[in-house]
């Protein structure tokens, strides 16, 4: 009673009513709260709904709350004053709300729908309605809305019955101060139930999703206990186990029956480590399968490993695609690397991306060396303008065919290539320049030889026809001049003029004879001749032709043999070559005339394909000089008629063409070996004649050629010669190392782990010549024997200062058998180990 009086004293507007009862003056049965509120607010007519709104305000003083934040409260109360008292307590509890009061069944049901309350406060006893019935209706219409019983008096049994019927709480009107906490508690319990319901629904849905994933996944899932017992597995795992084991895997089985080789991964997962492994298996039909398996630990909330999850997916299709791709790449790589054409790819600036083996073989540069160069660096200066032109066309989108370029190899040799050039574009810009070339150097050489042969043939036909006509005319000129000369007296001054006419006619006749020799239309008188005898008989004339400023050396081989030829024509050949050598050695020099025997085989014939050399035994007649030598361009035209490098008036250009014609008419051939700065050597090969000679007795078993197992280093800059020598020696059992020049030979010797038995070296080479190589080897390995070889004659290389006298020497051309004999002789003649060889 005291609390109520204090609460009334604090109620706004109640102090002004003088009729407020005093303590102890309330009659029995009189509801003090109801009468006070009626006196202040008035009475709500029965059966109507009254809406009350509490002032908007936040409990934390932060400002007004939004309308949507107010708590909608439906009050079921037939006494308006009691409803007002409830609202007042709600305001005191600082609960933002909007309230509606109803007191009939019909209005209660209507407001449940229209008002959609967040909370229901109901009196327990109403005149025409009661709280328990209202509770039952609320449970049907709005079961989630908290329902609180507010009554003037209720016993404990009734309260328990209300709670069992679904009431969230009950309050006594005499203790409405609990309304705030009761409402908060009821709402909290509702929220808790909703959260729990949502969590349970989410859990149910999650479990359903996981179950759907687990059961319908194309991957196999197996859940395993720490002891290896399978607790659960999905249909995919069952299907795969049947395919692999011919029986389905079941729960309670051991995982080792499924993947016995996965024991290590299983143990790792139990220790907390996940393992991914690709496994290659076979099914019961023998088909190859690939699986990617994952063994992952299963941990509880405390982080303890309570099992293992085995997940496997079939990657056979991917593996098959990878294998197909790999095989395709291997086929492409094999085709790329083993193609005979030179294939390369560069960026638009010409930097190399990749090249094939044929390119490496032709150019002689490694990938590392190419990475430091551009394509333009390997193009000959004469072809660079053409290269820039075709690159611009390719970058513009053209595909070019039959692009011809001259490239420079690592040894500074040149090769001619012909091919296609195109560009690959990406996003509208050039990405890769792709070139496919073919080495046409040999074809170009043959074509050049063919063109030269055609020019010479055409010139020969012209020269032959002209020679006949000129000879006819000169016969008349000389004959009638002689008649005229006899008609003059000895003292007649006109005789000198006629003699000049006869001398001019004779010179013209000499020219026609040279033309006839070139065209091979001259009448020959062949006979068996000793080559050494022919050279010896011309020695005095040859010395006079050279003059005192030049030295003539003769190197005549005693076993050179005999030939069948016209003596006069052979002498003409010698004189022409001597005069040609004299003009190439101004002011001083040395000419060497050598003879010898030569056995030429098919290999040598193939290396001189443009000449047409039948294999067989020949007599060699060579003329070498120490002159200025010739460039390739000059050498290509030396046998053409009327071609000369001499000033006008100092040569007819018929000297070497005459030599060519006479030699060809005698069934021989002539070859020029020359290098700028090292003079020239003309080698004439004439078939050796056996007329009248004793039959040759084949060598017996004692002269049979032996091979060996020693290691030999062959140093030669000409690829064809080097290949010939190496192949011949390898066929004899030797181990052969190759080098293209002296510096590379020194590198090979340094790298070799086996003792070298012999070095075979060319004399004239780029980088480091034979003489310089021999000097360095004499210091590094003084006991290592060296066999030198050259296209010059042996005496000629010594006279040029390229070799010292007495050194072992092999004349080119040689046959593989001849070289093998020379090698065996030198190897057998080596000093015993520990004893130094005596200097030559």
* pLDDT, tens only, 96-122: 889 999 988 999 999 999 998 988 988
Instruction: Decide if 611 contacts 671 (C-beta within 8 A).
Output: yes
Q: Is the pLDDT of residue 157 over 60?
A: yes
In this prediction, residues 398-406 reach a mean pLDDT of: 89
In this prediction, residues 511-529 reach a mean pLDDT of: 63
Q: How far apart are CA 806 and CA 798, in angstroms?
A: 9
pLDDT confidence bin for 441, thresholds 50/70/90: confident
Q: How far apart are CA 607 and CA 252, in angstroms?
A: 82
Higher pLDDT, 690 or 492: 492
Q: What is the pLDDT of residues 616-651, one digit of tens each?
A: 888 989 999 888 888 877 777 777 776 776 665 556
Predicted local distance difference test score (pLDDT) of residue 696: 37
Predicted local distance difference test score (pLDDT) of residue 43: 38
Question: Which of 35-49, 111-125, 204-218 has the least mean pLDDT?
Answer: 35-49
Q: Give Cα 740 distance to the centre of its chain.
A: 29
Tokens of 298: 């299963």
Dihedral, 722, 726, 728, 730 alpha carbons, nearest 10: -170
Instruction: Decide if 571 contacts 684 (C-beta within 8 A).
Output: no
Question: Which of 17-31, 132-146, 257-271, 672-686 has the least mean pLDDT?
Answer: 17-31
Q: What are phi and psi of 25, to 5 degrees?
A: -110, 5
pLDDT confidence bin for 47, thresholds 50/70/90: very low
Instruction: Decide if 202 contacts 187 (C-beta within 8 A).
Output: no
DSSP-derived pairing of the beta strands 352-355 and 342-346: antiparallel
In this prediction, residues 296-307 reach a mean pLDDT of: 85
Q: What is the pLDDT of residues 734-767, one digit of tens each?
A: 999 999 999 999 999 989 888 899 999 988 888 8
Q: How far apart are CA 253 and CA 435, in angstroms?
A: 64
Higher pLDDT, 413 or 156: 413
Higher pLDDT, 812 or 67: 812
* C-alpha radius of gyration, the chain, whole number: 60
Q: How far apart are CA 818 and CA 684, in angstroms?
A: 20
Question: Which of 307-311, 473-477, 498-502, 669-673 has the least mean pLDDT?
Answer: 473-477
Local structure of residue 64 (DSSP, 8 states): P
Q: Is the pLDDT of residue 316 over 50?
A: yes
Local structure of residue 432 (DSSP, 8 states): E
Higher pLDDT, 33 or 740: 740
Could you give the angle at which helices 494-518 and 441-487 cross, rounded to 10 degrees?
150
Supply the mean pLDDT for the chain: 77
Residues recorded for the chain: 840
Higher pLDDT, 156 or 629: 629
Tokens of 151: 């009554």
Count Cβ atoms below 10 Å from residue 284 Cβ, excluding itself. 11
In this prediction, residues 522-531 reach a mean pLDDT of: 75
Higher pLDDT, 328 or 62: 328
Local structure of residue 282 (DSSP, 8 states): E
């Amino acid at each position: 009673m005291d609390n109520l009086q204090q609460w009334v004293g604090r109620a706004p507007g109640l102090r002004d009513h003088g009729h407020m009862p005093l303590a102890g003056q309330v009659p029995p049965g009189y509801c003090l709260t109801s009468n006070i509120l009626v006196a202040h607010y008035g009475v709500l007519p029965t059966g109507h709904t009254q809406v009350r709104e509490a002032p908007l305000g936040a409990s934390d003083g932060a400002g007004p709350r939004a309308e949507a934040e107010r708590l909608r409260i439906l009050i079921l109360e037939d006494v308006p004053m009691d409803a007002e008292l409830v609202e007042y307590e709600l305001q005191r509890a600082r609960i933002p709300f909007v309230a509606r009061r109803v007191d009939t069944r019909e209005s209660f049901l209507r407001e449940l729908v229209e008002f959609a309350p967040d909370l229901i406060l109901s009196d327990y006893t109403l005149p025409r309605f009661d709280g328990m019935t209202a509770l039952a209706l609320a449970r049907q219409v709005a079961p989630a809305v908290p329902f609180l019983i507010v009554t003037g008096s209720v016993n404990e049994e009734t309260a328990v019955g209300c709670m069992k019927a679904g009431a969230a709480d009950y309050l006594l009107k005499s203790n409405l101060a609990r309304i705030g906490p009761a409402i908060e508690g009821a709402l909290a319990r509702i929220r808790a139930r909703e959260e729990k319901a949502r969590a349970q629904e989410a859990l149910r849905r999650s479990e359903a999703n996981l179950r759907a994933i687990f059961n319908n996944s194309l991957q196999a899932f197996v859940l395993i206990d720490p002891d290896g017992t399978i607790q659960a597995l999905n249909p995919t795992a069952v299907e795969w186990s049947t395919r692999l084991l011919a029986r389905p895997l079941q729960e309670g089985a051991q995982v080792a029956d499924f993947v016995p080789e996965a024991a290590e991964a299983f143990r790792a997962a139990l220790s907390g480590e996940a393992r991914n492994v690709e496994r290659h298996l076979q099914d019961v039909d023998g088909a190859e399968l690939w699986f990617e398996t994952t063994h992952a630990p299963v941990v509880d909330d405390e982080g303890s490993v309570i099992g293992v999850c085995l997940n496997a997916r079939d990657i056979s299709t991917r593996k098959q695609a990878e294998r197909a791709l790999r095989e395709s790449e291997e086929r492409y790589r094999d085709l790329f690397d083993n193609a005979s054409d030179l294939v390369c790819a560069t960026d638009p600036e010409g930097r190399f991306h990749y090249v094939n083996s044929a390119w490496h073989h032709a150019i002689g540069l490694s990938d590392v060396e190419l990475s430091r160069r551009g394509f333009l660096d390997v193009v000959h200066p004469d072809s660079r303008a053409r290269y820039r032109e075709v690159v611009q066309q390719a970058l513009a989108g053209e595909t070019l065919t039959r692009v011809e370029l001259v490239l420079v190899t690592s040894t500074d040799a040149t090769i001619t290539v012909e091919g296609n050039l195109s560009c690959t574009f990406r996003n509208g810009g050039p990405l890769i320049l792709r070139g496919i070339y073919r080495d046409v150097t040999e074809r170009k050489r043959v074509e050049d030889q063919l063109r030269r042969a055609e020019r010479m043939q055409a010139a020969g036909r012209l020269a032959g026809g002209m020679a006949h006509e000129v000879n006819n005319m000169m016969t008349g000129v000389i004959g009638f001049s002689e008649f005229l000369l006899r008609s003059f007296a000895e003292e007649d001054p006109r005789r000198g003029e006629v003699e000049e006419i006869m001398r001019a006619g004779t010179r013209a006749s000499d020219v026609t004879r040279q033309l006839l020799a070139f065209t091979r239309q001259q009448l020959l008188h062949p006979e068996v001749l000793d080559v050494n005898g022919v050279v010896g008989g011309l020695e005095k004339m040859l010395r006079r032709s050279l003059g005192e400023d030049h030295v003539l050396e003769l190197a005549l081989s005693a076993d050179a043999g005999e030939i069948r030829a016209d003596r006069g024509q052979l002498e003409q050949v010698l004189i022409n070559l001597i005069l040609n050598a004299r003009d190439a050695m101004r002011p001083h020099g040395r000419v060497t005339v050598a003879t010898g025997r030569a056995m030429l085989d098919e290999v040598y014939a193939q290396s001189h394909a443009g000449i047409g050399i039948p294999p067989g035994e020949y007599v060699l007649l060579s003329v070498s000089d120490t002159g200025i030598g010739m460039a390739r361009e000059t050498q290509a035209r030396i046998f053409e008629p009327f071609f000369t490098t001499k000033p006008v008036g100092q040569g007819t250009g018929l000297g070497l063409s005459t030599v060519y014609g006479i030699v060809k008419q005698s069934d021989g051939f002539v070859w020029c070996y020359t290098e700028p700065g090292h003079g020239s050597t003309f080698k004439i090969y004439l078939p050796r004649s056996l007329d009248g000679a004793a039959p040759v007795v084949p060598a017996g078993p004692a002269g049979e050629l032996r091979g060996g197992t020693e290691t030999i280093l062959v140093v030669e800059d000409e690829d064809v010669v080097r290949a010939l020598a190496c192949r011949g020696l390898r066929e004899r059992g030797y181990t052969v190392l190759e080098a293209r020049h002296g510096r590379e030979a020194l590198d090979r010797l340094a790298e070799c782990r086996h003792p070298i038995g012999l070095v075979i070296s060319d004399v004239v080479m780029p980088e480091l010549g034979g003489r310089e190589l021999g000097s360095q080897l004499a210091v590094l390995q003084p006991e290592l024997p060296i066999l030198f070889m050259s296209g010059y004659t042996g005496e000629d290389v010594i006279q040029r200062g390229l070799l010292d006298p007495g050194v072992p020497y092999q004349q080119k051309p040689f046959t593989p058998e001849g070289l093998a004999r020379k090698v065996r002789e030198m190897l057998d003649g080596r000093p015993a180990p520990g004893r130094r060889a005596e200097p030559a």
